[in-house]
Amino acid sequence: MKKSLIGLFLSLGVCALSIYLLVTASPALEYPLGENDTVPLGSFITWAGLISLPMSLYCGVRRFREPQGFFYRSMAVALKIVIVLAFLWVPISYGLAGNMNFNFGQSETFQGGQTAMSLFWGLSLGIPLGTIVLFAVHLIIEVFQRLFHRRK
């Protein structure tokens, strides 16, 4: 079995499990990690899901792994940026919130305040949305290429 196929199935499995646990609001999300119970398991489950979504696109679509042409090279770079942001999600989010629960308040300071919360949600939503947009663009290109080649 090819490494990319194994990576695809592993990524899709982690992504599906993460989505299931988040959608069902599983008690496992609140399971405390660490000595003083300040780090919830849900932070790491979400992180795994955010990493696995763009990784499944990378492993599943050869054109993102071996891009040819300017457009696919640009899309491959964009996907790699999304993957790097996904890997950095916890450290960036911790820096924004100041805690591993990623709780924000009405603080006057940047860390833990409303501006930091907006950046947190932008990052948290931008990773999956960026991946979905790249996948949608890829599908549109594939459809038009098949239609164009069929007419010749």
Query: Of all residues in the chain, what percent carry a pLDDT higher than 90?
Result: 45
pTM: 0.87
Q: Is the dihedral of CA 17, 66, 143, 4 positive or negative?
A: negative
Task: Express each pLDDT in 68-85 by its tens digit.
Answer: 889 899 999 999 999 999
pLDDT given at position 37: 64
| Cβ atoms of residues 96 and 119 within 8 Å | yes
pLDDT of residue 33: 79
Mean pLDDT confidence for 128-143: 94
CA–CA gap between residue 31 and residue 100 (Å, rounded): 13
Question: CB pairs under 8 A, 24+ apart, for 94-97?
Answer: 96/120
Query: Average of pLDDT values for 47-61?
Result: 93
Give the single-character DSSP code of 30. G
Give the separation between CA 1 and CA 51, rounded to whole angstroms.
22
Higher pLDDT, 1 or 124: 124
pLDDT at 150: 62
pLDDT for 69 equals: 87
H/E run at residue 40: strand 39-40
